[in-house]
Amino acid sequence: MAQRDSQESHYLSTFAAFEQNGPSASPDWLKALRKQAIANFERDGFPTARRGNELWKYTDVRSLASHAFTLSKGNGHEAIDFAPYDLPCPRVHQLVFVDGHYAADLSTEPPSQAEHQAETIGHRSEGLIVGRLSEAIQERLPLVEQYLSQQAGAGAFAALNTAFVEDGALVYIPDGVAVHEPIYLLFITTGHASVVTHPRVLIIAGADSKATVIQGYESLTADAEPYFTNAVTEIVTRPGAVLRHYKLQREARNAYHVAATHATVGRDSMFASVSLDLGGGLVRNDISITLAEVGASVKLDGLYLGDGKRHIDNHTFVDHAVPGTSSDEVYKGILTDASHGVFVGRVLVRHDAQHTVAHQVNKNLVLSDDAEVDSQPMLEIFADDVQCTHGAAIGRLDPNAVFYLNSRGLDTREAQELLVHGFVSEILSAIVDDAVRQYTDDAVLTKLG
Amino acid sequence: MLEITDLHAEVAGVEILKGINLRVDAGEVHAIMGPNGSGKSTLANVIAGNPSYRVTAGTMEFEGEDLATMAPEERARRGVFLSFQHPVEIPGLRMDHFIRAGYNAVMKSRDEDQLDPLKFDRLIRAKAKVVEMDATLTKRAVNEGFSGGEKKRNEILQMAVLEPKLRILDEIDSGLDVDALRSVSASVNELMGPDKATLLVTHYERLLTYIVPNQIHILMDGRIVASGGKELAREIEAKGYDWLAEQQSA
């Protein structure tokens, strides 16, 4: 216990200092929220494997917990060559954070009202917000108090994020507004020191709105000092909204990346998520979707590429809470060297949730003897009039397919490359925005070499 | 062009080919017939270099060079082509991307010009016309969701693009209706030439009325038990294979 206490006490004392010297102008509700969160963290502690926690049985966070990561002071950042992170489209709403601190020089100014008019359907273009969470808090925007931490509750990591919540992004798309360019939220860690960041993102998609948000997690150097990204994203889509959310994770190989994404999907609204894990040392993603109203649908796609000793754990949860909702989930992994992939996908169809359509599949390509995969699809169905399927596959490249390509003149290396690209293309094609897809295709194909 | 001498091969430790002798010259069409499990498909796959099969004895020469030691892609680059009995479905890999990669690998090995996507698109459209295949299929994933007939036609399209010297057609007639069989056979004949050779593997005499062989070989239990002309096929059609087996054991 002494070991555990010291691991948590580091964050408790960091919090005490943060509370005193940190964001002074915080409203009372936020101060209370933080206090409650740190108390929850102190109570729960890190979910170490020996505590018998089912949700963490495949992922051992002891090495993460044993590091004394510190908050970055944010005294400005070095010059950053932005070219590798630039989206190939003319204009995006872009917020960039470096070591957890807003980087004004890399972010775009909010477009003028006149520009907005041209981009919107209908007339209700006013009030689009793509801005800093800290500013929204300072300006006492009711939205923030209304939505922040409404979904991200349970778990030590989410609690830790909430305890240290200070900055991040607020995206608010007003009713009826379609934002055509992607909204780009980028979190860069320099990797010069063992820092912890707690990126927080809140996205509210108004009724019949339409938008694409891409969240990037990058490291300036592949050989960074160990660091810890502890991200929480909360999403609400109102009736009829279409929201596409793409996450590209390319952290350094020494990095710990823990990210929770919660979304509540409204009536006849569509939420599409594509999660690409190309980096990180120890990675844990929790995606939790509540299909809260009739006609709500979610499309969940994920791709994880493991090499070296990477450990990539994806936990997804889809809650079909009401009748007439649908989910379609495809997660794929390619594991080589001594990497370890984990997929646990839970789909809950509640008692009243008749006419639910739920499909889930997890496929893994294991390219070396030392790589390992744990795949656990879980369908829990309490309604009787439903259409649900699930499946999992773990295998090597099909030798018949390799021979087929060989027999047309391709050597085995070329054949494997084409087959691997074919395997990932289903996930990449789930990204419908051309510019984003071009960017993510490049990222994945570069990674696959 | 192809000279096989006392060829033995096994799969998973079980001997399937037990001493095959076969010679196919340029300009010739040979047909291999035989009952299920006689080793016809094995012979086709062994010539093409399928690594699931192991050659245990004998020799295979293609244009005077030892085939058995060549990787399958090397055989393809030199002009050996196998039309698969069961063409493989490859989700996510577009047919035209796949066969362009193959075409360019073959061209590169011969120090000939490779084609960019635009030029290749013109080539594959022209070839699709020759084999009477819907060119839009080439924009889809390899064989995914193709009907049995479309898969076979797709094999012939690949053959038309690669222009191999030795064409091994494994059960090209299975799953085809009469019209499709007539059309696919016409393509195979049209793509034939004096510098090329064809090895047909089939169950049915029907195919041989469309693609007429110079010689027919009957394969039973891993050996060629009879060779002859068209009359041999007619005899098989009338009497089955059993009389040959009896003759063999007698």
Confidence tier at A118 by pLDDT (50, 70, 90): very low
Asked whether the predicted pLDDT for residue B49 surpasses 90, the reply is yes
Q: How far apart are CA A374 and CA B224, in angstroms?
A: 50
Q: What is the pLDDT of residue A233?
A: 98
Confidence tier at A121 by pLDDT (50, 70, 90): very low
Interval B24-38: pLDDT, tens: 999 999 999 998 889
Q: Chain A: residue nearest B51 by CA?
A: A403
Q: Chain B: residue nearest A401 by CA?
A: B88
Residues of B whose CB is below 8 A from A403: 49-52, 72
Residues of A whose CB is below 8 A from B90: 401, 404, 419, 422
The number of CA neighbours under 13 Å toward the Cβ of A6 is 6
Q: What is the pLDDT of residue A449?
A: 78
Q: What is the pLDDT of residue A20?
A: 83
Confidence tier at A124 by pLDDT (50, 70, 90): very low
Q: Average pLDDT in the A193-211 region? A: 96
Q: How far is A270 from chain B (nearest CA, A)?
A: 25
Confidence tier at A279 by pLDDT (50, 70, 90): very high
Q: What is the pLDDT of residue A114?
A: 42
Asked whether the predicted pLDDT for residue B250 surpasses 70, the reply is no
DSSP E strands in A266-324: the ranges are: 270-277, 282-291, 297-306, 311-320
Q: How many domains does chain B have?
A: 1
Q: Chain A: residue nearest B81 by CA?
A: A407
Asked whether the predicted pLDDT for residue A2 surpasses 70, the reply is no
Mean model confidence pLDDT for chain B: 93
Asked whether the predicted pLDDT for residue A117 surpasses 50, the reply is no
Q: How far apart are CA A88 and CA A438, in angstroms?
A: 8
Residues of B whose CB is below 8 A from A400: 88
Interval A73-112: pLDDT, tens: 877 888 999 999 999 887 789 999 999 999 999 998 765 4
Q: Average pLDDT in the B2-9 region? A: 97
Question: Number of residue pairs across A and B with CB atoms under 8 Å?
Answer: 82
Mean model confidence pLDDT for chain A: 91
Q: How far is A400 from chain B (nearest CA, A)?
A: 7
The string of DSSP codes covering A325-375 is: -EEEEEEEEEE-TT-EEEEEEEEEE-TT-TT-EEEEEEEEEE-SSS-EEEE
Q: What is the pLDDT of residue A89?
A: 84
Q: What is the CATH number of the domain that holds B189?
A: 3.40.50.300
CA-CA-CA-CA torsion sign (A357, A440, A191, A197): negative
Q: How far apart are CA A268 and CA A242, in angstroms?
A: 9
Q: Chain B: residue nearest A413 by CA?
A: B73
Is B101's Cβ below 8 Å from some Cβ in A?
yes
Is B72's Cβ below 8 Å from some Cβ in A?
yes
Which of A339, A319, A343 is closest to A331 using CA atoms?
A: A343
Among A329-338, A343-352, B225-234, whose mean pLDDT is lowest?
Answer: B225-234
Residues of A whose CB is below 8 A from B105: 408-411, 414
Asked whether the predicted pLDDT for residue A287 surpasses 70, the reply is yes
A41 and A202 Cβ atoms separated by less than 8 Å: no
DSSP conformation class of A78: -
Confidence tier at A22 by pLDDT (50, 70, 90): low
Residues above pLDDT 90, as percent of chain B: 84
CA-atom Rg of chain A in angstroms:
22
Asked whether the predicted pLDDT for residue A359 surpasses 60, the reply is yes
B127 and B63 Cβ atoms separated by less than 8 Å: no
Interval B138-184: pLDDT, tens: 999 999 999 999 999 999 999 999 999 999 999 999 888 889 999 99
| Domain boundaries, position B56 | 2-249
Asked whether the predicted pLDDT for residue A1 surpasses 50, the reply is no
